[in-house]
Structure 1
Amino acid sequence: MEELKKWLTEHKITEIECITPDQTGIARGKIMPTDKFLAEGGIRLPESILLQTATGDYPDDDVFYRLLDPRDIDMLLRPDGVPFTIPWAAEPSAQIIHDCHDSMGNLMELSPRAVLKKILNLYEEKGWQPIVAPEVEFYLTKRCTDPDIPLEPPYGRSGRQESGRQSFSIDAANEFDPIVEDIYDWAEDMGLDIDTLIHEEGAAQLEFNFRHGDALKLADQVFIFKRLVREAALKHKMNATFMAKPVSGEPGSSMHVHQSLVDAKSGHNLFSNKDGTASTLFHHYIGGLQAYIPSVMPMLAPNVNSYRRYLPGADGNSPVNIEWAEENRTVGLRVPDAPPAARRVENRLPGSDVNPYLALAANLLCGYLGMINEVKPRTPATGRMGNEADDTMPWNLEAALENMSNCEEIREILGNDFVDGYVATRWAEYEGFKKVISSWERQYLLSTV
């Protein structure tokens, strides 16, 4: 706390946002003066926020009261990790990510940050250190307050809206220079390790890549980055969305995750042998991804909208398979062309709507189980993969939730409380979705059935 106090004093911070991610990835917490924060050393919040959905609703009472105290008691949140400045605030402010603890001081099992820490502890026990690098896509859109109106691209510097595909176009990216400069400047102020920017396929769709590093640190940074981008968009009178599929007819937004494994002491890449060839651990890690991704899909595709990215039988831009191959973007698990020291695998299935803590935990859990159980991967794919769906995968939320609920190995590591609670929040959101009559139904069924 002394080091934190010194940092707050040096930066003349007068106000602090004490935040923690809920299961959807929404920042929940309290805002308080710095003096009060330092005097108390933590905050209290209701345990129930860990079972809150994106709509602010909760699962059915039988799940809620089985997993949480029926009195809706408080949990204690303690600061963990580095603070982040808030460059868009009117006065010197900071946001500090907190861990959630029960009355006995234990991490709350329903907390996404605790889930990732649990998986990282498994690696630490083996002397392994996972290295990850997320790539986060999002759309910039015109402001629109009516949810029934489709989203449109904003106007760029030229005063025009984008049309057609602009993949990797420098000129298209430069159309949004004012907001991009703010994103880079604010990220530098906050210490976020963002690297390259590209313009993706969609109209006003951008991608920021993070430098590779520690999984918990990067989960924190992606969590904060989403807030940063939304604030930058608001400053420039537009919106930013990380929905997996926000615009019909346009590509979805993903969060590809590059992942590798090093020896915690020597730093040697354990995915490569000394002669530069791929190691047994590397193949087992991929085997684990292929074997267990079908059971953790709700952590990689958490919302009903998430599955609109996957278009089996259609010309979609997201893989609908869990095959692996080197230098092949049509597979779900791509191995980039890299020297042995940088050998890694890229999971191209997660959407950008994920909770970054849970998405990274899911990837690392699958790889861990593959290595522990010595799971052999499938034969590498050759050539371009078509859009025929992998029949081992759940391509809708209902099937994904059933898979996760029924996987005993996932339950054994993540815990029954987390699995039951997380699945229950997803079901609660899905039930809310089913109550809404869509424009498609009105357009095609209103006068024809």
Structure 2
Amino acid sequence: MDKNTAKITEIRNLCQEKQIRMIDFKMTDIDGRWRHITIPVERFCEDTFTYGIGFDGSNYGYAPIEKSDMVFLPDPATAYVDPFASVPTLTMCGNVCTIGQDGNRPFDQYPKNVSLRAVEYMKESGIADRMVIGPEFEFYLFDSARFEVTPRQCGYRIDTRQADWNHSLDTAGNNGYEVSHKGGYHISAPQDVGYDLRSHMCMMMEDWGVRVKYHHHEVGGPGQMEIEVELDDMPAMADNTMIVKYIIKNLAAQEGKTATFLPKPIYQEAGSGMHVHMLLFKNGLPLFYDEEGYSGLSRTAHYFMGGLLKHIASLCAFTNPSTNSFKRLVPGFEAPVTVGYATSNRSAVIRIPAYAKSPETKRFELRNPDATANPYYAYAAILMAGLDGIENKIDPAANGWGPYDFNLYTLSPEEQKKIKGLPKSLDEALDALEADHEYLTKGGVFPQRLIDIWVARKRAELRQMEQIPHPAEFNMYYDL
């Protein structure tokens, strides 16, 4: 009995045990959203794993309509009872293939395939055989969120009872326990009104197989939260990122609240990032540790950082792919704005945690990404940039990118001009991607067609945004 047959038998037994009535298949679209299709359990059979489920890929943002027929092949190893389905439902993720006369072939634009191909390329290079990463998930938890964009009116309104604006005598408030502006870091109950809900989220993640490191309230007073997970292999962590976001958003909705990963949902408050910790292994040995190196990092680690810093502008097109992303990457909010690396310095785009001292944990974090990213593309792009740095021995110190062991926000304007900055807009990041993407297409990891489609989609978003009057424009210019 092969592994698939054994797993299918296991799934059938699970369906009987849990009285499963429906089987749900979750697929990832080009933007990084889960979509799904569901069949009755009676239709589930071995052919489901052989021939897959057909669907129209053009509606997922991938293929032109004339070549849009695709099949989804579920991975039985991902089977899990969906905790949010009222009808007992088993859910599975998997992969996408194109339909050809000679059989199905893995679709090279599908996010999961891109991440798997990046790991294959890493192994083929001989540099490493594992990339281990750990993202930090920051998000805001609101009581309500309303927004409208029509020709007649444009605006949004969010609220949470712990916000400092509910100090007003005219609001129901939070019994005097509102949280001050940018004063939420590690606050405790009763100010931390999301405490129990975060614990439930973490318990559900653990049950689903996502190991949680810790959770806490973040800096943003109006309900900014953070859940950090334990390190895991890159493709698995991309899967886990989808699971984490699914749990956070659905459990919040179940509790009558709403969660958002929007990088900058509140003007002048702390933004939400998705810092990514990373390290490489080969034959079970860590490659980033060197007791004699700067901050305990090896030459390989420095070259990896060099690749990230060299390609950081084009990387932003995948790690920060929304117009809102760049409203977070501004000075004064513990968000990176400059290209550089340092130890324990949150103003640098690459931070080396001082607390990670052992060979197996020695690593650094990339601080610019946010969770509007498609995690498969973002993590794969990070890996490819780092590998390019190792292959070409890109030394970050020799290129003037640090180490910056001082507060980059307090530099004089003259000193700041000497340091290269991150893109200030999605437009700049897309320009950089168009000019600098050969490191992504190596080994066929990122198909050129995918990069072209990505840039075109994002340019379309920018054109739409530029045509919509902004509410602040009325405040600034209405009376001119």
- TM-score norm. by structure 1 comes to 0.89
Task: Give the partner amino acid of 2:123.
Answer: E
Partner of 2:167: none
Q: Is the 8 A contact 1:166 1:172 kept in 2?
A: no
Return structure 1 stretches of 4+ with deviation > 6 angstroms.
Answer: none
Q: Is the 8 A contact 1:46 1:72 kept in 2?
A: no
Partner of 1:75: 70
Deviations 1:199-224 (A, max 9, x none): 11002111101100111111111111
Partner of 1:201: 219
SS at match of 2:324: helix
1:117-196 mapped onto 2 (5 Å cutoff): 117-125=116-124, 126=126, 127-147=128-148, 148-154=155-161, 161-164=178-181, 165-171=183-189, 174-196=192-214
Partner of 2:396: 377
With 151-160 and 280-289 compared, the bigger mean Cα shift is at 151-160
Task: Call closer, same or farther: CA 1:178–1:405 in 2, change over 3 Å.
Answer: same
Task: Give the partner amino acid of 2:280.
Answer: L
Q: Is the 8 A contact 1:142 1:155 kept in 2?
A: no
1:216-295 mapped onto 2 (5 Å cutoff): 216-263=235-282, 265=283, 267-273=284-290, 277-295=296-314
* Number of aligned residue pairs: 429
2:435 paired with 1:406: yes
Partner of 1:60: none
How far did residue 161 of structure 1 move?
Answer: 4.5
How far did residue 392 of structure 1 move?
Answer: 5.3
Task: Call closer, same or farther: CA 1:236–1:162 in 2, change over 3 Å.
Answer: farther
SS at match of 1:122: helix
Deviations 1:104-133 (A, max 9, x none): 432222212221111111122224211101
Select 1:320's aligned residue among 318, 334, 337: 337
Partner of 1:25: 32
How far did residue 257 of structure 1 move?
Answer: 0.3
Task: Give the partner amino acid of 1:291.
Answer: K
CA distance in 2, matches of 1:247, 1:14: 42
CA distance in 1, matches of 2:141, 2:97: 37
CA distance in 2, matches of 1:120, 1:154: 45
Partner of 2:61: 51
Partner of 2:112: 113
How far did residue 268 of structure 1 move?
Answer: 1.2
- TM-score norm. by structure 2 comes to 0.84
Task: Call closer, same or farther: CA 1:192–1:34 in 2, change over 3 Å.
Answer: farther
With 180-189 and 108-117 compared, the bigger mean Cα shift is at 180-189
Q: Is the 8 A contact 1:269 1:340 kept in 2?
A: no
CA distance in 2, matches of 1:183, 1:138: 13
How far did residue 94 of structure 1 move?
Answer: 2.6
CA distance in 2, matches of 1:305, 1:385: 23
1:340-359 mapped onto 2 (5 Å cutoff): 340-341=358-359, 342-359=361-378
Q: Is the 8 A contact 2:321 2:373 kept in 1?
A: yes
2:424 paired with 1:395: yes
With 8-17 and 250-259 compared, the bigger mean Cα shift is at 8-17
Q: Is the 8 A contact 2:146 2:157 kept in 1?
A: no
How far did residue 18 of structure 1 move?
Answer: 0.9
Q: Is the 8 A contact 1:86 1:190 kept in 2?
A: no
Partner of 2:170: none
CA distance in 1, matches of 2:42, 2:122: 38
2:85 paired with 1:89: yes
Task: Call closer, same or farther: CA 1:275–1:171 in 2, change over 3 Å.
Answer: same
Partner of 2:13: 9
Task: Give the partner amino acid of 1:46.
Answer: D
SS at match of 2:147: coil
RMSD after superposition: 2.3
Q: Is the 8 A contact 1:84 1:191 kept in 2?
A: no
How far did residue 285 of structure 1 move?
Answer: 0.6
CA distance in 2, matches of 1:78, 1:317: 42
Q: Is the 8 A contact 2:350 2:367 kept in 1?
A: yes
Deviations 1:141-176 (A, max 9, x none): 122333423322245996554333121123367422
CA distance in 2, matches of 1:426, 1:197: 33
How far did residue 253 of structure 1 move?
Answer: 0.3
Partner of 2:168: none
SS at match of 2:347: coil
CA distance in 2, matches of 1:345, 1:380: 13
Unaligned runs of 5+ in 1: 53-67
How far did residue 360 of structure 1 move?
Answer: 1.0
Task: Give the partner amino acid of 2:289.
Answer: S
